[in-house]
Amino acid sequence: MKTMDKLFTVSLSLISITSLITAVSGLIGIPLQPLALRIIGAVSLVSLPVLIYSTVKSMQEKLAAAKKLAGNTKAVPAKAESAPQQPEPAAAEPAPPKRTGGKKATGGNGKQKSKNKRKRK
């Protein structure tokens, strides 16, 4: 097993254990000692950056291996099937002309809305 895989496994295990201890004690209602809480927090704070570092490094190694593998193969790229051509959308239709004549808009009951409202005293 590679070093990064070991780091990943150990840090993920530590984070899992500390999370389980905290969750179970909270669900059961058993208060943890302040010293125990500090130790659990310190272990979590140290494990998290190690987990991130090991994950990023292993992903970089996998990407480099994939690029190297892709560079060594001399495969002929498959011809892309041409998708059926869709006609271009027609030019936008002109907006309909505005109504200039006719009745004014009403409030729904057939009466015109008054613009002047009476002021209350």
Q: What is the pLDDT of residues 8-58, one digit of tens each?
A: 999 999 999 999 999 999 999 989 899 999 999 999 999 999 999 999 998
Q: Calculate the CA dihedral of residues 3, 57, 7, 16 and round it to 10 degrees.
A: -150
CA pair distance 72, 69, nearest whole angstrom? 5
60-70 pLDDT, tens digit per residue, is 988 988 888 88
Residue 26 domain-assigned?
Answer: yes
Report yes or no on 107 lying in a domain. Answer: no
Is residue 60 assigned to a domain? yes
Residue 95 lies in a domain: no
Within-domain flag for 45: yes
**Gap between the terminal Cα atoms of the chain:** 88
The verdict on residue 17 lying in a domain is yes
What is the pLDDT, as a whole number, of residue 96?
75
Could you report the per-residue pLDDT of 80-114, keeping only the tens digit for each?
565 566 766 666 777 777 777 665 555 555 555 55
User: By residue range, what is the domain housing residue 34?
Assistant: 3-71
Structural domain tally of the chain? 1
For the chain, counts of helices (H) and of strands (E) = 2, 0
- Note whether residue 120 is domain-resident: no
The answer as to whether 63 is a domain residue is yes
